[in-house]
Amino acid sequence: MSSWKNLEEEVKQYAQYIWNRKAEPDRLAGINFDCVLTLSEIEKVIVEVTENRSLDKIRGDIARIQIIRTNMMAKNIMVRPYIVCDFQPTQGMKDAGKESYVEVLSFSDFRKIFFDFDTYKHVRSNATFGSAVDPITGENDEAVYTPVGYDILNSVEANAEEIAQRIIDGKKVILLGDYGTGKSRCFREVFNILARRVDETFLYPIAIDLKETWGLESSVEIIRRHFNHLGIGESETDSVVKAFNGKRICFLLDGFDELGSRPWSEDKKKLESIRRHALQGVKDLLSNAGAGFLVSGREHYFNSNKEMMTALGVREDQSVIARCKTEFSYEEFYKYLELNNINVSLPSWLPRKPLILKTIASLDNNKISELFNSSNGDEIEFWYNFIDAMCERDSRIHPILDPDTVKQVLSRLASLTRERAQNVGPITESEVVDVFFEVTGSYPNEQSTVMLQRLPGLGRVSSETGDRNFVDDFVLDGLRALDLVNRVSSSDRNVSNLKWLNPLRKLGVSILSREMQKRNLTSLFITYAKQSLQRDKSNKVSISDVLSALNQIEIDEIDFDGFDFIEAHFGDLNFERANLKNIKFSDGVFESITLGKVDPESIVIKDSFIDRLLGVSSSSGVPAWIKNCEVVSYESIDTLTAIKKSGLTDEQTMLVSILIKVYRQAGNGRLEHTLTKGLAAVNKKSLKKILQYLISNGFLVTSKDNGETIYKPVRKHQERIEKILNELDRSNDEVWEHVTMLSA
């Protein structure tokens, strides 16, 4: 304890929790006591607090208590006395108290009268934490935790230690992220940190998986069910229920998006009402919590932060929103490899996600080396080799199934997730069996059932259910592409009636394109797209996937005769090649559009939602054929990392870096050495040519500072420079074209 006064206050607070009475200093029969509680007219509790480590002091306190006990007995009042020490009392001290029926105990043991946290910690730590489970066994994931950063709005990154500290400081932390980004692992790590610091903070973390509280409408119900699931007795539950709105219990609630089904409705207000009702118990708990807390769930479960705050019962000015990053940084990536003994060099384009790396780590080192060597640095080729390696491994473990059958089963299961709101699943055990029958023509026997329980690329949702999720969309996206190829090439008429929600993303579109060309199916897919567009009922996601793939392969333009494709849903639509011609898209959803250097012929996208528009950096760069659309984000070039990822040539990258630093960043000029600072490839000869061109054409003026050149903007060109930066590789400005020629 930091001071005597703090210890006394803490003891009084715990005494109030234990006996449900006001605890305060009092003077009885002329003797002062630190803490007295009146339980009834005939019963009192006396608690003396000491930090004096001498046996004589303990004996003196016992003597004073005995005087009062005798005095109270004369009035038919029973006294229950305690001496609480700010240290572990010796056996002699305990024996001295025992002789006089006075309990001498440490502050830590006194707290256990209220709540035996050590028992709770042991039981809770051995139970699973959300989806932080081993993909094969469904038990707790025992891989070493890799310290990672979590993005916090308007702040720097925070790690698990810092999130825990914010909770200790009374902050309400909301952690958002999609499946596989590490929410549950962060949840578990924060619990461990808070549990280790209980003796310092006197703050007890209670970690609840919200999926176990479905249908509950009050905080008390949630607390009781949690302790019941852990097999902990009513007395401990009662203590937590009693104190949850005080400052000693902090709740960690994982999975606000798992409190029930997520039904679809065109009525947004109805959906909000459904979500609000499902979270009624959580709101009751959080809005009455007296301490900081952590609550986590999927990023896009709510329509807005405002709806999220209202549904959770959290005030925006008292909360902190943190987000799991979609993948490791390079430093975190290599730390993960080191901590988990993965001794191979992995390519930079490999998704830096724990679940993918765990799957690779399950292969032997020779197979891993062979896997990467045979791919020749080609991400698409690597995907094929990676899937083959997974299926071959499982076929060797369970020879009853050949690798191709394993792949077909996985592809059909991937297709099922097209209709799932959570994208990666879940898939039920019965669905796995049905798909097995569909692929093989027979139901699984005992051996193949074992194999189905551990299919590669799938992970257990938890130990309580046999449901599976795909471990990552890197695996999932390509399998969906294979399934679509198989369906169209086999003239599967059912595909048009499927209600797919999830389109192919960039990797899946690339694999679909490659499959079309490898198997000479391009004409078939063009026919499929045109015929499907004419049907009254059709799977619009599948059509969108096919159009995305056709738009990026080497073929002549495809004329769609002015057809208006209403309510398309594209995961990734790339116009760098632009084979589609004479087609309009209305009221659609475009998760990502990449613009080419040249506008496509007779293409219109109007009245649609575009999540990411790449190729321009702001609304002023949007081409005229994209009309009246809501665009959430553009290609960012305001940071060094964004510039490097923009796909520009080295010379274009240098130009962008110079223009941003001189024209957009604060100050009246930039020193020469800062213009391209941080860029990996700076050709000094090209840099000199770019600077000379900008100066000679009046875009930059120079001065000197201690012998170093300072480059300053010419503000009359500000609007023109902004247009170049907004349009990027689509710009036809002579400045852009001149620098582009340097790359040739």
Q: Residue range 60-80: average pLDDT?
A: 90
Q: Residue range 211-230: average pLDDT?
A: 85
Q: Minimum mean pLDDT among 119-128, 215-224, 236-245: which range?
A: 236-245
pLDDT given at position 374: 64
pLDDT over 90 percentage in the chain: 17
pLDDT given at position 38: 92
pLDDT given at position 597: 75
pLDDT given at position 2: 47
Phi, psi dihedral angles at 185 (to 5 degrees): -70, -35
State yes or no: pLDDT of 466 exceeds 80: no
Question: Which residues have CB under 8 Å from 709's CB, separation 6+?
Answer: 671, 672, 702, 703
Distance separating alpha carbons of residues 36 and 38, to the nearest angstrom: 7
State yes or no: pLDDT of 12 exceeds 50: yes
State yes or no: pLDDT of 638 exceeds 70: no
Distance separating alpha carbons of residues 338 and 668, to the nearest angstrom: 46
For residues 481 and 515, the answer to whether their CB atoms sit within 8 Å is yes
* pTM, full prediction: 0.55
In terms of phi and psi (left: phi > 0; alpha: psi -120 to 50; beta: otherwise), the region of 441 is left
Cα-to-chain-centroid distance, residue 703: 48
Which of 387, 325, 390 is closest to 180 using CA atoms?
325
Q: How confident is the model at residue 544 (pLDDT cuts 50, 70, 90)?
A: very high
Distance separating alpha carbons of residues 501 and 264, to the nearest angstrom: 11
State yes or no: pLDDT of 264 exceeds 60: no
pLDDT given at position 511: 93
Distance separating alpha carbons of residues 191 and 209, to the nearest angstrom: 12
pLDDT given at position 266: 40
pLDDT given at position 651: 84
Distance separating alpha carbons of residues 34 and 4, to the nearest angstrom: 11
pLDDT given at position 483: 93
Distance separating alpha carbons of residues 567 and 538, to the nearest angstrom: 11
Q: Residue range 15-31: average pLDDT?
A: 86
Q: Minimum mean pLDDT among 7-16, 36-45, 55-64, 147-156: which range?
A: 147-156
State yes or no: pLDDT of 741 exceeds 90: no
State yes or no: pLDDT of 166 exceeds 60: yes
Q: Residue range 610-638: average pLDDT?
A: 82
Q: How confident is the model at residue 655 (pLDDT cuts 50, 70, 90)?
A: confident
CB atoms within 10 A of CB 80: 16
State yes or no: pLDDT of 65 exceeds 70: yes
Longest dimension (CA), the chain: 107
Q: What is the pLDDT of residues 91-108, one digit of tens each?
A: 999 999 998 899 999 888
Q: Residue range 368-390: average pLDDT?
A: 73
Q: Residue range 592-604: average pLDDT?
A: 86
Question: Which residues have CB under 8 Å from 158's CB, separation 6+?
Answer: 149, 150, 152, 166, 322
Q: Residue range 356-374: average pLDDT?
A: 66
pLDDT given at position 201: 81
For residues 688 and 654, the answer to whether their CB atoms sit within 8 Å is no
Residue 207 bridge partners (DSSP): 252
Burial status of residue 602 (CB atoms within 10 A of its CB: 0-12, 13-18, 19 or more): middle
pLDDT given at position 722: 83
Q: Which domains does the chain have, with CATH numbers?
A: 4-114 (3.40.91.50), 117-324 (3.40.50), 476-634 (no CATH), 642-743 (1.10.10.10)
Query: How many residues in the chain?
Result: 744
Q: What is the pLDDT of residues 695-727, one digit of tens each?
A: 888 888 888 777 778 888 888 888 888 888 877
pLDDT over 70 percentage in the chain: 80
pLDDT given at position 509: 94
In terms of phi and psi (left: phi > 0; alpha: psi -120 to 50; beta: otherwise), the region of 213 is alpha
State yes or no: pLDDT of 444 exceeds 80: no
pLDDT given at position 263: 41
Q: How confident is the model at residue 178 (pLDDT cuts 50, 70, 90)?
A: low
Question: Which residues have CB under 8 Å from 736's CB, separation 6+?
Answer: 652, 655, 724, 727
Average pLDDT of every residue of the chain? 81
Give the tokens for residue 61.
């306190």
**Interior/surface letters 115-138, b for 16+ CB within 10 angstroms, e for the rest:** bbbeebbeebeebbbbbbbbbeeb
Most confident of 191-200, 337-346, 706-715: 191-200
pLDDT given at position 143: 63
State yes or no: pLDDT of 261 exceeds 60: no
Q: What is the pLDDT of residues 296-329, one digit of tens each?
A: 887 667 767 888 888 888 888 778 888 887 677 7
State yes or no: pLDDT of 548 exceeds 90: yes
Distance separating alpha carbons of residues 178 and 182, to the nearest angstrom: 8
Q: What is the pLDDT of residues 128-152, one digit of tens each?
A: 776 665 554 556 666 666 666 777 7
pLDDT given at position 83: 93
pLDDT given at position 573: 92
Helices (H), ranges, 293-402: 305-312, 330-339, 354-361, 365-373, 379-397
Which of 571, 703, 725, 528 is closest to 634 using CA atoms?
725
